[in-house]
A = this chain, B = another copy of it.
Amino acid sequence: MKHDLIRLAVVGLGNIGHAAIEAIYAAPDMELAGIVRRKTSGAEGTSYGVPVVSDIAKLKDVDVALLCGPTRTIPETAPIYLQQGISTVDSFDIHGEPLWELRRSLHAEAKAHACVAVVSAGWDPGTDSVLRTLFLVMAPRGLTHTNFGPGMSMGHSVAAKSKAGVKDALSMTIPLGSGVHRRMVYVALEKGTDFEAIKKAILEDAYFAKDETHVTEVPNVEALQDMGHGVRMERRGVSGQSHNQHFEFTMRVNNPALTAQVMVACARAAVKHLLPGAYTLPEIPPMDLLPGNRGDLIRSLI
């Protein structure tokens, strides 16, 4: 970092990209270097008072690229930036093997180019993952349940929308407890589309097949959309030999705003604190995510 403020580029300008720009403007130690969009091709310009470009090389002194595009593009997009020595933060959200595979491959890439990749920075995966880790630390034996919602699931909405004849779709996640969820799917159909056939296709889709799912036809999906989401995570377990330890975390949030806020905080850790390599959120010291000096933070927060 050869400058006073951490310089960020926002790559992709959907819900997360817009929210990331708001979080950068609210941060005392950061500035927006520019926006990278695929679609500009020739028609580059400015937005939010910064350059909009199709190639990050046209922006000056970028420390971190916030990858705000779709999850499935991250494995091929992130290395492009890392190979230029630009650190990346993404919110890749496919848990399990794909997440570990991404973390593993970007680790090698980031180390080779002396920069940092923060993988799956958001709230789940992300801050929820830190809490699951902490709950396991506090009570090594026991069960954790993560209950999502009520709130809109992006992945399930996209899956429902992908059926031929569906104009727009919204899938709400309703928590039934113990990590079991109901899916409430609202679809707006193109003229002449058979609702019963669509309903059947959605119920058979792998995204929905395992959960209780209700499909309803509505004239207008947009009128139902709300970015609010929530979580209730609970663990009951044993510390040492003491049973009946109980921990619970709940939140109600604007979903893209929280995701973007966490990504921006991870960019700070990437530039100021972390050694080259790739990290998931529970692999980062939480205090490295905050601005301010160590003494003040320890005196006021601990």
Interface residues of chain A, those whose CB is within 8 Å of chain B, are 19-20, 22-23, 26-27, 95-97, 99-100, 103-104, 120, 123, 125, 127, 129-134, 136-141, 238-242, 244-254, 257-258, 260-262, 264-265, 280-290, 294-295, 297-302
Alpha-carbon distance A146/B82, docked complex (angstroms): 41
A27 neighbours in B (Cβ, 8 Å): 140
A286 neighbours in B (Cβ, 8 Å): 130, 133-134, 137, 282, 286
Contact A280-B298, Cβ < 8 Å, known A26-B140, A289-B133: yes
* A299-B96 in contact (CB<8A): yes
* B290-A133 in contact (CB<8A): yes
- Minimal beta-carbon separation of A133 from chain B (angstroms): 4
A26 neighbours in B (Cβ, 8 Å): 140-141, 238, 240-241
Closest 8 CB pairs of A and B: A242-B257, A22-B240, A239-B261, A23-B240, A242-B254, A282-B287, A22-B241, A239-B257
A298's contact among B100, B131, B139, by CB below 8 Å, is which?
A: B100
Alpha-carbon distance A133/B254, docked complex (angstroms): 20
Cβ-closest chain B residue relative to A228: B244
A139 neighbours in B (Cβ, 8 Å): 258, 261
* B249-A136 in contact (CB<8A): no
* A99-B246 in contact (CB<8A): no
- Minimal beta-carbon separation of A146 from chain B (angstroms): 11
Among A26, A130, A137, A252, max chain B CB count under 10 A is at A137
A99's contact among B239, B280, B299, by CB below 8 Å, is which?
A: B299
* A136-B301 in contact (CB<8A): yes
A239 neighbours in B (Cβ, 8 Å): 19, 23, 253-254, 257-258, 260-261
A261 neighbours in B (Cβ, 8 Å): 137-140, 239-240
